[in-house]
């Protein structure tokens, strides 16, 4: 009887230890963030890789994670726009904005230095133009719990061969122009349609610029770029 008991005990033990943990692919730059440690505490396995696009790959979903401060900075320097374009390689994608209980995303008194309606407009652009859902999380623990829930969905895993989007010459010029204060995509396109090159734009007189973009021409007044 003891022998039979031992056989069944071993089979049961073997079955319980063979259940694999849910695996999440994370960019290696996430290794030292609190989200990674929270995911491990939730019993998830994390594999760190150099991801060209997104911060986390969870089954069939690509996730870009931003803290509130990082979201504001990347909105201002327009880095996030390029990241959103790169996410389009994936059918399913999410933007997580983390820490809304720790820091205000925007405030009406403009204490953050960014106009509240500018932030609202950018969020609407992400949803309507880029078609990327946004999840707002309280903190790193809340972010990890969302990722944990997603990891339990039975979907196919994502390929790791996504690449950085390579901008063509016209897109690169527009990207540079959009780095000037107050110059958005529409204004940048107008300038390039009229002057063709950055050198021509910088060398144009204020009167010529004003004919194309009105008062926004003043942002180039003191610009000194060596071509």
Report the pLDDT value the prediction gives residue 190, as an integer from 0 to 100. Answer: 87
In a domain, 14, yes or no: no
Percent of the chain beyond pLDDT 70? 79
- For tokens 């999380």, the residue is 137
**Which of 151, 179, 202 finishes a domain?**
151
Do 176 and 145 lie in a common domain? no
Do 176 and 81 lie in a common domain? no
Do 30 and 92 lie in a common domain? yes
Q: Tell me the residue range of the domain where 209 lies.
A: 169-220
Cα–Cα distance measured from residue 118 to residue 132, given in angstroms and rounded to the nearest whole number: 18
In a domain, 225, yes or no: no
Report the pLDDT value the prediction gives residue 188, as an integer from 0 to 100. Answer: 85
Do 129 and 186 lie in a common domain? no
In a domain, 38, yes or no: yes
- For CA atoms 182, 186, 190, 195, give the dihedral sign: positive
Do 141 and 211 lie in a common domain? no
Per-residue pLDDT of 10-54, as tens digits, reads 455 444 455 566 789 999 999 989 999 999 999 999 999 999 999
Do 140 and 174 lie in a common domain? no
Q: What Rg value do the Cα atoms of the chain yield, rounded?
A: 24
CATH number of the domain bearing residue 194: 1.10.150.20
Which segments of the chain are extended strands (E)? 23-27, 45-49, 56-58, 61-67, 92-98, 134-137
In a domain, 159, yes or no: no
- CB crowding 172-195: b at 16 or more within 10 Å, else e: ebbeebbebeebeeebbeebbeeb
Least confident of 7-16, 202-211, 212-221: 7-16
In a domain, 8, yes or no: no
Do 127 and 191 lie in a common domain? no
Reported as a pLDDT band with limits 50, 70 and 90, residue 7 is very low
Do 62 and 96 lie in a common domain? yes
Do 127 and 61 lie in a common domain? yes
Report the pLDDT value the prediction gives residue 203, as an integer from 0 to 100. Answer: 81
Per-residue pLDDT of 101-153, as tens digits, reads 888 888 766 556 778 888 888 999 999 989 999 999 999 999 999 999 998 87
Do 108 and 205 lie in a common domain? no
Per-residue pLDDT of 44-98, as tens digits, reads 999 999 999 999 999 889 999 999 999 999 998 889 999 999 999 999 999 999 9
Are 177 and 183 spatial neighbours (Cβ–Cβ below 8 Å)?
yes
Do 215 and 109 lie in a common domain? no
In a domain, 1, yes or no: no
Report the pLDDT value the prediction gives residue 226, as an integer from 0 to 100. Answer: 40
Structural domains counted in the chain? 2
Report the pLDDT value the prediction gives residue 225, as an integer from 0 to 100. Answer: 43
Reported as a pLDDT band with limits 50, 70 and 90, residue 217 is confident
Do 129 and 176 lie in a common domain? no
Bridge-based pairing state of the strands 23-27 and 56-58: antiparallel
- The more confidently predicted of residues 218 and 205 is 205
Per-residue pLDDT of 146-191, as tens digits, reads 999 998 876 555 566 677 777 777 887 887 777 776 777 888 888 8
Are 135 and 95 spatial neighbours (Cβ–Cβ below 8 Å)?
yes
């Amino acid at each position: 009887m003891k022998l039979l008991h031992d056989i069944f005990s071993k089979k049961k033990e073997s079955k319980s230890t063979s259940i694999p943990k849910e695996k999440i692919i994370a960019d290696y730059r996430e290794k030292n963030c609190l989200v990674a440690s929270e995911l491990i505490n939730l019993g998830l396995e994390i594999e760190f890789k150099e991801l060209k696009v997104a911060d986390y790959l969870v089954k069939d979903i690509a996730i870009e994670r931003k803290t509130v401060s990082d979201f504001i900075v990347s909105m201002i320097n327009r880095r996030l726009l390029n990241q959103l374009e790169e996410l389009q390689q994936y059918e399913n994608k999410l933007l997580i904005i983390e820490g809304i209980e720790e820091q205000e995303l925007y405030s009406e008194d403009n204490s953050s230095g960014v106009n509240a309606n500018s932030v609202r407009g950018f969020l609407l652009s992400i949803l309507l133009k880029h078609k990327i859902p946004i999840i707002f999380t309280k903190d790193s623990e809340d972010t990890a719990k969302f990722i944990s829930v997603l990891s339990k969905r039975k979907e196919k895993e994502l390929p790791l061969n996504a690449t950085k989007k390579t901008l063509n010459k016209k897109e690169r010029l527009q990207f540079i122009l959009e780095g000037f204060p107050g110059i958005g995509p529409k204004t940048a396109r107008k300038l390039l349609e009229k002057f063709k090159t950055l050198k021509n734009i910088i060398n144009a007189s204020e009167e010529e610029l004003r004919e194309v973009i009105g008062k926004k021409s003043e942002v180039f007044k003191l610009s000194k770029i060596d071509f």
